[in-house]
Amino acid sequence: MHILEILAFALSSNLDNLVAGIAFGSTKTILPFSSNLLIAIISSSGSLVSIIIGRNVTTLAQKNQWIASDVGAIIIIVIGFYLIIQSIRQREVQPISFEKQVESHSRNFFRSSFVRLQRLTRLLSDPLLADYDHSHSIELQKASVLGLALTLNNIPTGFAAGLIGLNPTLTTITIFFFSLFTIWLGLFLGSRLIAKVLRNWAGTLGGVLLVVLGVFELFN
Protein backbone atom coordinates (compact mmCIF):
# COMPACT_ATOMS: atom_id res chain seq x y z
CA MET A 1 0.00 0.00 0.00
CA HIS A 2 2.99 2.29 -0.47
CA ILE A 3 3.06 3.17 3.25
CA LEU A 4 6.67 4.42 3.23
CA GLU A 5 6.07 6.41 0.04
CA ILE A 6 2.98 8.02 1.55
CA LEU A 7 4.86 8.97 4.74
CA ALA A 8 7.78 10.42 2.75
CA PHE A 9 5.39 12.34 0.49
CA ALA A 10 3.35 13.70 3.40
CA LEU A 11 6.49 14.83 5.25
CA SER A 12 8.01 16.56 2.23
CA SER A 13 4.67 18.25 1.51
CA ASN A 14 4.53 19.74 5.00
CA LEU A 15 8.06 21.03 5.56
CA ASP A 16 6.87 24.49 4.49
CA ASN A 17 4.39 24.23 7.37
CA LEU A 18 7.30 23.52 9.71
CA VAL A 19 9.10 26.64 8.49
CA ALA A 20 5.93 28.71 8.95
CA GLY A 21 5.52 27.37 12.48
CA ILE A 22 9.14 28.22 13.29
CA ALA A 23 8.62 31.76 11.98
CA PHE A 24 5.58 32.25 14.18
CA GLY A 25 7.19 30.62 17.19
CA SER A 26 10.35 32.71 16.92
CA THR A 27 8.32 35.94 16.96
CA LYS A 28 5.85 34.74 19.61
CA THR A 29 3.01 34.96 17.11
CA ILE A 30 -0.03 33.05 18.33
CA LEU A 31 -1.54 30.46 16.01
CA PRO A 32 -4.66 28.95 17.66
CA PHE A 33 -5.56 25.30 17.14
CA SER A 34 -8.57 26.37 15.07
CA SER A 35 -6.25 28.17 12.63
CA ASN A 36 -3.88 25.20 12.52
CA LEU A 37 -6.85 22.94 11.83
CA LEU A 38 -8.08 25.18 9.01
CA ILE A 39 -4.62 25.19 7.38
CA ALA A 40 -4.52 21.38 7.58
CA ILE A 41 -7.98 21.11 6.01
CA ILE A 42 -7.09 23.46 3.14
CA SER A 43 -3.70 21.90 2.37
CA SER A 44 -4.94 18.31 2.55
CA SER A 45 -8.02 19.17 0.43
CA GLY A 46 -5.82 20.73 -2.24
CA SER A 47 -3.62 17.65 -2.22
CA LEU A 48 -6.66 15.37 -2.47
CA VAL A 49 -7.98 17.16 -5.54
CA SER A 50 -4.60 17.04 -7.32
CA ILE A 51 -4.08 13.37 -6.38
CA ILE A 52 -7.52 12.44 -7.75
CA ILE A 53 -6.75 14.28 -11.00
CA GLY A 54 -3.50 12.36 -11.27
CA ARG A 55 -5.28 9.06 -10.60
CA ASN A 56 -7.88 9.87 -13.27
CA VAL A 57 -5.14 10.55 -15.81
CA THR A 58 -3.66 7.15 -14.95
CA THR A 59 -7.07 5.51 -15.37
CA LEU A 60 -7.49 7.08 -18.80
CA ALA A 61 -4.14 5.61 -19.77
CA GLN A 62 -5.00 2.09 -18.61
CA LYS A 63 -3.14 0.40 -21.44
CA ASN A 64 0.03 2.29 -20.60
CA GLN A 65 -0.18 2.78 -16.84
CA TRP A 66 3.56 2.31 -16.50
CA ILE A 67 4.06 5.42 -18.62
CA ALA A 68 1.85 7.49 -16.31
CA SER A 69 3.67 6.10 -13.28
CA ASP A 70 7.09 6.91 -14.78
CA VAL A 71 5.95 10.42 -15.73
CA GLY A 72 4.73 10.94 -12.15
CA ALA A 73 8.05 9.73 -10.77
CA ILE A 74 9.97 12.06 -13.08
CA ILE A 75 7.77 15.01 -12.06
CA ILE A 76 8.49 14.25 -8.40
CA ILE A 77 12.24 14.07 -9.09
CA VAL A 78 12.20 17.38 -11.00
CA ILE A 79 10.26 19.11 -8.21
CA GLY A 80 12.69 17.66 -5.68
CA PHE A 81 15.73 19.04 -7.50
CA TYR A 82 13.94 22.38 -7.91
CA LEU A 83 13.37 22.60 -4.14
CA ILE A 84 17.00 21.72 -3.45
CA ILE A 85 18.29 24.37 -5.86
CA GLN A 86 15.90 27.00 -4.49
CA SER A 87 16.94 26.21 -0.93
CA ILE A 88 20.64 26.51 -1.78
CA ARG A 89 20.11 29.83 -3.60
CA GLN A 90 18.17 31.25 -0.66
CA ARG A 91 21.02 30.36 1.72
CA GLU A 92 23.66 31.86 -0.58
CA VAL A 93 21.83 35.19 -0.66
CA GLN A 94 22.09 36.53 2.86
CA PRO A 95 18.66 37.96 3.59
CA ILE A 96 17.91 40.69 6.03
CA SER A 97 16.40 39.57 9.29
CA PHE A 98 13.00 37.92 9.17
CA GLU A 99 11.47 40.71 11.21
CA LYS A 100 12.85 43.41 8.89
CA GLN A 101 11.47 41.58 5.86
CA VAL A 102 8.04 41.65 7.42
CA GLU A 103 8.34 45.31 8.34
CA SER A 104 9.44 46.31 4.83
CA HIS A 105 6.93 44.20 2.90
CA SER A 106 3.79 43.79 4.93
CA ARG A 107 2.66 47.44 4.89
CA ASN A 108 1.63 47.20 1.27
CA PHE A 109 1.06 43.47 1.17
CA PHE A 110 -2.69 43.52 0.65
CA ARG A 111 -2.65 46.88 -1.13
CA SER A 112 0.00 45.99 -3.68
CA SER A 113 -0.66 45.77 -7.40
CA PHE A 114 0.54 42.17 -7.59
CA VAL A 115 -1.99 39.51 -8.46
CA ARG A 116 -3.26 37.23 -5.71
CA LEU A 117 -1.14 34.33 -6.85
CA GLN A 118 2.01 36.40 -6.43
CA ARG A 119 0.87 37.39 -2.97
CA LEU A 120 0.41 33.74 -2.05
CA THR A 121 3.83 32.75 -3.34
CA ARG A 122 5.44 35.50 -1.26
CA LEU A 123 3.91 33.92 1.82
CA LEU A 124 5.94 30.76 1.17
CA SER A 125 9.19 32.64 1.66
CA ASP A 126 7.87 35.10 4.27
CA PRO A 127 5.15 33.34 6.32
CA LEU A 128 4.98 36.26 8.75
CA LEU A 129 3.46 38.37 5.98
CA ALA A 130 0.24 36.56 6.84
CA ASP A 131 0.18 38.67 10.00
CA TYR A 132 -0.44 41.79 7.94
CA ASP A 133 -1.74 43.86 10.85
CA HIS A 134 1.14 42.96 13.22
CA SER A 135 -1.27 41.63 15.82
CA HIS A 136 1.03 38.66 16.52
CA SER A 137 -1.96 36.39 16.06
CA ILE A 138 -3.03 34.26 13.10
CA GLU A 139 -6.80 34.26 13.11
CA LEU A 140 -8.96 32.17 10.79
CA GLN A 141 -9.00 34.74 7.99
CA LYS A 142 -5.20 34.92 7.92
CA ALA A 143 -4.95 31.15 8.30
CA SER A 144 -7.14 30.64 5.22
CA VAL A 145 -4.77 32.74 3.09
CA LEU A 146 -1.72 31.02 4.55
CA GLY A 147 -3.34 27.63 3.96
CA LEU A 148 -3.87 28.46 0.28
CA ALA A 149 -0.25 29.54 -0.03
CA LEU A 150 1.04 26.35 1.57
CA THR A 151 -1.18 24.32 -0.77
CA LEU A 152 0.49 25.73 -3.89
CA ASN A 153 3.52 23.47 -3.51
CA ASN A 154 1.29 20.45 -2.95
CA ILE A 155 -0.61 20.71 -6.23
CA PRO A 156 2.09 19.48 -8.66
CA THR A 157 3.45 16.92 -6.21
CA GLY A 158 -0.11 15.73 -5.48
CA PHE A 159 -0.75 15.29 -9.19
CA ALA A 160 2.46 13.28 -9.50
CA ALA A 161 1.50 11.21 -6.44
CA GLY A 162 -1.76 10.34 -8.20
CA LEU A 163 0.16 9.28 -11.30
CA ILE A 164 2.37 6.88 -9.34
CA GLY A 165 -0.70 5.36 -7.70
CA LEU A 166 -0.66 6.54 -4.09
CA ASN A 167 -3.95 5.94 -2.29
CA PRO A 168 -5.85 9.29 -2.27
CA THR A 169 -7.69 8.73 1.02
CA LEU A 170 -4.74 7.45 3.04
CA THR A 171 -2.38 10.05 1.56
CA THR A 172 -4.80 12.90 2.30
CA ILE A 173 -5.35 11.77 5.89
CA THR A 174 -1.58 11.47 6.41
CA ILE A 175 -0.98 14.95 4.95
CA PHE A 176 -3.70 16.35 7.22
CA PHE A 177 -2.14 15.02 10.42
CA PHE A 178 1.40 15.87 9.30
CA SER A 179 0.23 19.43 8.65
CA LEU A 180 -1.14 19.74 12.19
CA PHE A 181 1.99 18.24 13.68
CA THR A 182 4.62 20.14 11.67
CA ILE A 183 3.10 23.56 12.42
CA TRP A 184 2.83 22.66 16.11
CA LEU A 185 6.43 21.41 16.09
CA GLY A 186 7.57 24.62 14.40
CA LEU A 187 5.80 26.72 17.03
CA PHE A 188 7.47 24.65 19.75
CA LEU A 189 10.94 24.91 18.21
CA GLY A 190 10.64 28.54 17.11
CA SER A 191 12.50 30.04 20.04
CA ARG A 192 15.24 27.39 20.07
CA LEU A 193 18.64 27.34 18.40
CA ILE A 194 17.75 24.37 16.20
CA ALA A 195 15.01 26.45 14.59
CA LYS A 196 17.47 28.36 12.39
CA VAL A 197 19.02 25.13 11.13
CA LEU A 198 15.64 23.60 10.35
CA ARG A 199 14.42 26.75 8.62
CA ASN A 200 17.52 26.89 6.42
CA TRP A 201 17.54 23.22 5.52
CA ALA A 202 13.83 22.34 5.37
CA GLY A 203 13.63 23.02 1.64
CA THR A 204 16.70 20.89 0.93
CA LEU A 205 15.37 18.04 3.06
CA GLY A 206 11.99 18.16 1.33
CA GLY A 207 13.70 18.13 -2.07
CA VAL A 208 15.90 15.18 -1.15
CA LEU A 209 12.88 13.22 0.10
CA LEU A 210 11.04 13.84 -3.18
CA VAL A 211 14.07 12.86 -5.29
CA VAL A 212 14.51 9.63 -3.33
CA LEU A 213 10.79 8.88 -3.60
CA GLY A 214 10.77 9.60 -7.33
CA VAL A 215 13.85 7.46 -8.04
CA PHE A 216 12.37 4.61 -5.98
CA GLU A 217 9.11 4.74 -7.92
CA LEU A 218 10.89 5.07 -11.26
CA PHE A 219 12.90 1.88 -10.77
CA ASN A 220 10.41 -0.05 -8.67
Per-residue pLDDT reduced to its tens digit, 113-154: 345 566 666 777 778 888 888 888 999 998 998 888 888 878
At residue 103, the pLDDT reads: 45
| Per-residue pLDDT reduced to its tens digit, 55-113 | 888 777 665 666 767 777 888 888 878 777 877 776 555 444 444 444 444 445 444 43
User: Is the pLDDT score of 198 beyond 70?
Assistant: no
At residue 35, the pLDDT reads: 94
pTM, rounded to two decimals? 0.77
At residue 94, the pLDDT reads: 46
Mean pLDDT along residues 195-203: 67
User: Is the pLDDT score of 166 beyond 80?
Assistant: yes
User: Is the pLDDT score of 184 beyond 80?
Assistant: yes
At residue 200, the pLDDT reads: 67
User: Is the pLDDT score of 196 beyond 70?
Assistant: no
Residue 200 C-alpha from the chain's centroid: 15
At residue 65, the pLDDT reads: 61
Percent residues over pLDDT 90 in the chain: 20
| Per-residue pLDDT reduced to its tens digit, 3-46 | 888 888 888 888 888 888 888 888 888 999 999 999 999 999 99
According to DSSP H, which parts of 61-193 are helical?
65-92, 98-105, 116-125, 140-152, 154-163, 168-189
At residue 106, the pLDDT reads: 46
Burial of 173 (0-12, 13-18, 19+ CB in 10 A): middle
Q: How many folded domains does the chain comprise?
A: 1
Distance CA 152, CA 42 (A): 11
Range of the domain at 41: 3-219
SS3 131: coil
Q: Which helix (DSSP H) or strand (DSSP E) does residue 35 occupy? A: helix 33-60
